[in-house]
Each structure stands twice: as structure tokens, then as C-alpha cells.
Structure 1
Amino acid sequence: MLIKTIARLISYALLGKSDKQALDIASVRKVLILRNDKIGDMIVTTALLRELKKNYPHWQIDVAASSANRSIIADNPHVSDIIVWDKQPLLRDLRTTIAELRRRRYDVIFNPYNRFSIPLLLRIKWLGARYLTGFAIPKYGTSTAKLGMFDHTVPCDRNAHILESFFAAFQQFNLRDIDMRYELFGVDAHAAAIDAACDALLDTHDGLFCLNFQGSNAQRTVSVADAQRCCAVLAARYPRHALLVIAAPGSEARVAEIVDGAGHANVMRSPPTGHILQLAALIRRCELVLSPDTSVIHLASAYDKKIVGYYIRTDNYRWFYPASRHYRVILAPGLTLASVSAEETLAAVEALLPEPAPLRVAG
């Protein structure tokens, strides 16, 4: 209790703002969206970038990105400038990125992070936004809604897709005709080798599945044994499809083990996808995508693919579920994908795909 009280008092002392002004939407010119984290989060945020620019075409919309996710918006026409803001010690941050962003004097800054972290909030406060909007996150017996640094906060709705909360944070801007679809740009520049490989596969197969079993951490990763079983049942059920298992950097040996252990010739490693937009190029050619909750799900959503998603039992299965019209979520009973059922996986795929035509027997 004492620690909570001290943290609450420190929050009030450090995270206030004395010179608040009423929002004048007509005077807004420069907006900064903070998104210096993961690839999937940036893909989801593309819908917000488009809708802000559509409603306010005169705005300069900048994005603070990470080195990891910058390429997702490198060719996005709705973004004026991208500032790479990778994690670094606080004092170095103050001298470099924070100082640069503060000099730009943004009218509006959106903080999309749904966590109460004093070091994070200090960094955001020092950016000097005239108007700061974000989420009301409870902690230490208080909430970010009670911190003076925020001009507007909304609850981060745990029963709706995260984009609903993003747009709620901009409710005072009266955005109209909101379209929540994700979008990607610049994929064609990375697609030549992928398209050639897919064309060759489609000469001998009726379609392509993209299978990913690697998660962002061990808890979200499907075991080799379970991946082998899933591949085997899908390959037997869809023998005229090529099942392409993608390899995240560093997981090549693991993928080779999955492919070899599946025991079917139509299970194979995917063409190389060393760049995230190469992976996007592959996904847009596939009929179905299967993956844990990673950027693969969001890339597939951008192309409205049929998706089977493996989710652990956290808020992510409600906040970041697939944003396509046709999907199935397989929800783990706990906080790991320790056991993934091949039968449940097959049932989910069958629910999304038409009955495969029977194999013709020569004779």
C-alpha cells in the first residue's frame, strides 16, 4: 500500500501540465502518432493514419516508429514524416529523439500504449504536445485519466477490437465514415521473386496455404510436434494445395524439422521472406493463412484472407483478432500454446474453405 501511495504521488508530481488550453480543432496542423514498437501494431495503426488524413487532408501526420516497423509505412501516402525512435536510456533519449520531437511543436500527440509506465509517460510528457490524447489506464490506485499531462483519455475497451479505442481517442475530432481496414504500400517493389515462386507452385498445385508456427515469444509459439501434426492433417485433407511453412529469421532449422516431420510432399518451406514486405507479397498470393497472434495475422487481414489464428488467453484475442471477413480463432485454455490440436485446426480450416474436389485417378 505504501509503495502504491508513493508511486501515485510521484505520478501526480511529475506527470501534470499547468498550461492547458481548450482544443481548437481549426488550428491543428501537426499531429504525431506514437508507434515505436512492433510490426503488427503498426499494421493495425494504418487504418487510423488513413482515416485521420481523409478527414483532415491539410494535417501533417508524422509517426514515431521503431526500426523494426518503419518499413510498414515507408511508402504510406498519408504519413508526412517518420521519426525512428528505438529504445535507449532515458538521458540519451532526452538529448536525441525527445529533443528533436519537442522542437517540432506538435499540436496533437496520440499515445496508443495501454499501460501505465512512469518512464514511458515521462518521455511522452516531455514531447510537449499542446493536446495529448490516449487511454485511461488504472494503476497505483489512480489512472492516467487523472494525470494532468493528458487532455483527453478514453477507456481501452477490453471487449472490442483495439481500433475502436483508437478512434474513440479522437472522438472530439468528429471523424466521419470510418473505415477500419488495414492497408499496405510498397509491396510490389519486393514481390518479384515471391510472385515467380508462387506462379511456379501454382503450375502444379490448386492453391497455396501460408503456415506460421513461430510466435513473438515462447508462450505464443506452436511446438514442433504439434506443428508437424497440423501440417500432416492439412496436407492429407488438401493434397492439391502447397502448404508453405514460413521461417522467421533464426527459425530455419526449426522449420526444416517441421517440414521433414510432416511426412507429405505438399508441405514445404516457403520462398525466402527476409523483408516484411516480401512476407506480405507471399501472403497476398495465398488462399489461407494460419498463425499465432503475430504480424502474420495482421498482414493477412490487410488482404482480407481467410485466417486461422492461435491465441493465448490474454486481452489480445479481443483487441487484436483478425480484421478479415472470414476467420476462426483457436483460443488456448491458458497463457501458452503448449498444446495445439491438429483436429481443431483442421475443423477451423474446413469451416473457412469449400470442400476440395476429389483427386482424379488415372486409368
Structure 2
Amino acid sequence: MKFIKKIRELNRKRNHLKKKLKYKIALYKATKKWRRMPTEKIAPSKVRTALMIRNEGKIGDAIVSTCILRAMHEAGINIDVLAIKANEMIFSGNPFIRNLYLTDEMDPRDMYNHAIPDDLIITLKNNNYDLMIDTGIWDTGLYMPKMIQAISPKISLGFNKQKWLSHYDVNIAFNHYQSHVKEIYAAIMNYLGFPDASNQRYEVYYKQSISDEVKAIDFFIGDNKKVIINMYASHDDRNLTPQQTKEIISGILLKNKNVDIVVLDYKKSFVKDFFIGAKVYHVPSLYHAMAAINLSDLVISPDTAVVHVAALYDKPLIGIYRDIPDNNKLWSPGYKNGHQIFTSTFVVGEDASLVDNVLNAIDKFNLN
């Protein structure tokens, strides 16, 4: 049985290497097929228009990327964002964005199909950008050489690009083992010569009426400290189980009497009084979840998108992470009030010590 398992593991590694080699060859061919046309080069200090590519990634990635928008605007740079429809709510209404363009999400290995309508490509080209920013630190999209050729920015900036990928004028090395994801944007700010590049904050804008609506909900009224528990992550194997959630609630109430606990449930999986000692909030939208977190005194979550929302409001946080070296620093809370704990199992719901670890971490915060 062990022999068969070993063979399967070797086959998986071989298939992974074959796919990676196939991707590298395809990317190299793309650079030759869609060569970068010569453009007028300018100094970073002369940049006045920029396009930030945010057409991949999840909600958390998008939230982090907002940390650069105010600084660019205040430096006199007109910044446009190319985002995906699923992340529109993170960028819409932001006063520091000149134009927000939307497209479908792209897989980096899509064969030269940039999924952007031709009329939008023409619009982006006609904007005559001084700078195009590709924030991806992993695989470069196979569509990027064609897109860069079509848009033809004066400067194209990327991270961790191969030397032969000449479509990028500026290639910044980024070590994801040692750096938080927001350091991507600090590096861009340093390149542009902005002072105090480390002073970053996330910014997402939504209607005041949503905040007022959430404030009026009965379990957000009163002077008790508010604890928000988010059970869900982007993958089911990272979710808190109902039993873990019940035990965390019981443990909090055992030590803290004047506390109101709210469980966020956008899936509407539980009736509102399912958890003894807590209320279930059927969250209508991401904005409502953000408004709820803004009213909290402590957030507990296994999902990094919620972690970044808590960071946006500088809320005390217990972020629950699997112990994966690629992610531990990169997607950590990244702020003083954010506390990070690691599970001992790959599936969060199978970690028998998780509840105790969460409750021990809560002792660091004053809920009385």
C-alpha cells in the first residue's frame, strides 16, 4: 500500500513538472509572437497616468491593493484599475480611482486569450499610460505579452519575472517567504519615489445607509463588547465546524460576561438562534459584513479576506491559518492588532486543539 501511495505521489510530481514546463514554453512562445514595441521611456518621477492590473485573485488580494490608490492620487497620478467583476465592490466608489474597467477573471495559463473585449483594449491603448502595473508575483499570464503589446505603456512593471520576459521594463524581486503581501505596493511606491512607503492603509467605500442599517440590528445595539466569528473560508477544508464554533462561543462566555457574539453566515446555513449564546447574522452582502466588522471589538476568522477587512478597520483579530510556509508571512494579518494562530492539521475542522488555542489567544484581548 505504501509503495502504491509513493508511486502516485511521484506521478503527481511528474505531472506537475510537465505542466510547468509546458507553461514556460508557451509563455516563451508568447513573448516571441507578441514582441514588445519600442516606446518612449520616462523617469518614474514623470509618471502621470497608470493602469493597475487586478484581473485575478480573490477579495483579500483586491482589498490589499487599495493601499496604494490614495498615495498615487495625492502624487498627481491618474490611476485606472482593470479588475474582475467579482471584485468590483472593492474598487467601486473609490474617489482615488479615475476609471474602473471590468473583465472576466483570467487563468494565468489561458492560451493567449486575454478575455478583454477588443473595444476595451482600444480604450486602454488610447489612454496612453505612462505606467502599467502587474501585481502578480506567481505565474505570468500567457495573455500578458499580447496585452502589453496592445496597450503599449511607456513603462511596464512586474514582479519576479524571468529575464527573457522582456515585455517588463521594471522587474522587482519579491520574496513571499519573508514579506507581507502589502510590501508589493510598498515596492511600487518606492520605485515611484513616494516618501513613507511603509505607511499604508486599505480603503473600501460603501454607502452610509449600509452602516446605519447594520447599527440598527438588535445584536449590535448596546454597550457590550462585540465579538464577530466568521466560520467560512474560500475552501471548505479551512472552515470552522459548527461544533468548533459552539465550543468557542461557550469558552468566550465562560470568561467574559458582558459580551455579545455574532456569527456571520452569508450562506444562510443556520437559523438565527442555532448557536446558544450567540446570534447568527445572515449577511446580505460583503459591505454588510464589513460594516459589522467595523462595529466589533474582536474578530475570529479562518478566511484571509475577513482578516484584511479587520486590518482595514484596525480591529483586534484572531486569524486561523494552516501552517504553510508559502503563506505564513505573505498572508498574515500584517498589523499590530492582528494575531495569527496555526492549525496542527490540514483540515481545520480536524484540529482537536484549535478551540483551546483560540480561547488562549482571546485572553490577550480585554473583553471585559
User: Fold-level match, TM-score > 0.5?
Assistant: yes
How far the C-alpha of 1:334 sits from its partner, in A, is: 5.3
What is aligned with 1:239?
257
| Root-mean-square deviation (Å) | 2.6
Structure 2 residue corresponding to 1:278, chosen from 282, 288, 294: 288
Give the alignment's TM-score, normalised by structure 2: 0.82
**2: distance between equivalents of 1:35 and 1:8?**
20
Structure 1 residue corresponding to 2:98, chosen from 61, 68, 80: 80
- Whether 1:216 aligns to 2:229 is no
Aligned in 2, Cα 1:34/1:267: closer, same or farther, shift over 3 Å? same
- Whether 1:136 aligns to 2:152 is no
- Whether 1:29 aligns to 2:48 is yes
**Match runs of 1:119-198 below 5 Å:** 119-122=142-145, 124-125=147-148, 126-137=150-161, 143=162, 145-158=163-176, 159-178=178-197, 179-197=199-217
Aligned in 2, Cα 1:212/1:151: closer, same or farther, shift over 3 Å? same
**2: distance between equivalents of 1:77 and 1:45?**
15
Structure 2 residue corresponding to 1:307, chosen from 304, 310, 317: 317
How far the C-alpha of 1:91 sits from its partner, in A, is: 6.9
Q: How many residues are aligned here?
A: 337
What is aligned with 1:41?
61
Aligned in 2, Cα 1:160/1:239: closer, same or farther, shift over 3 Å? same
How far the C-alpha of 1:68 sits from its partner, in A, is: 2.0
What is aligned with 2:123?
100
User: Residue type of the partner of 2:103?
Assistant: W
**2: distance between equivalents of 1:351 and 1:310?**
15
**2: distance between equivalents of 1:220 and 1:41?**
18
Other structure's SS at 1:153 match: strand
**2: distance between equivalents of 1:352 and 1:157?**
32
8 Å Cα contact 2:317-2:339 kept in structure 1:
yes
8 Å Cα contact 1:15-1:148 kept in structure 2:
no
8 Å Cα contact 1:157-1:165 kept in structure 2:
no
How far the C-alpha of 1:183 sits from its partner, in A, is: 2.2
**Match runs of 1:283-298 below 5 Å:** 283-298=293-308
How far the C-alpha of 1:153 sits from its partner, in A, is: 1.2
Aligned in 2, Cα 1:94/1:291: closer, same or farther, shift over 3 Å? same
What is aligned with 2:365?
352
Aligned in 2, Cα 1:114/1:124: closer, same or farther, shift over 3 Å? farther
How far the C-alpha of 1:123 sits from its partner, in A, is: 5.2
User: Residue type of the partner of 2:262?
Assistant: L
**2: distance between equivalents of 1:120 and 1:333?**
39
User: Residue type of the partner of 2:316?
Assistant: K
How far the C-alpha of 1:103 sits from its partner, in A, is: 3.0
What is aligned with 1:140?
none
State the identity %. Answer: 20
What is aligned with 2:7?
none
What is aligned with 2:333?
322
How far the C-alpha of 1:18 sits from its partner, in A, is: 4.4
**2: distance between equivalents of 1:28 and 1:61?**
10
User: Residue type of the partner of 2:202?
Assistant: Y
8 Å Cα contact 1:187-1:280 kept in structure 2:
no
Structure 2 residue corresponding to 1:226, chosen from 238, 244, 263: 244
Residue deviations 1:257-284 (CA, integer Å, cap 9, x gap): 9x62x4x3x31102x4322222111111
Aligned in 2, Cα 1:15/1:91: closer, same or farther, shift over 3 Å? closer
Other structure's SS at 2:214 match: helix
What is aligned with 2:71?
51
**1: distance between equivalents of 2:314 and 2:259?**
19
**2: distance between equivalents of 1:6 and 1:201?**
55
Give the alignment's TM-score, normalised by structure 1: 0.83
8 Å Cα contact 1:135-1:169 kept in structure 2:
no
What is aligned with 2:13?
none
8 Å Cα contact 1:326-1:352 kept in structure 2:
no
- Whether 1:339 aligns to 2:350 is yes
Stretches of structure 2 lacking an aligned partner (at least 5 in a row): 1-16
**1: distance between equivalents of 2:124 and 2:155?**
14
8 Å Cα contact 1:235-1:267 kept in structure 2:
no
How far the C-alpha of 1:190 sits from its partner, in A, is: 1.4
How far the C-alpha of 1:321 sits from its partner, in A, is: 1.7
**1: distance between equivalents of 2:174 and 2:246?**
38
**2: distance between equivalents of 1:45 and 1:8?**
26
8 Å Cα contact 2:304-2:331 kept in structure 1:
no
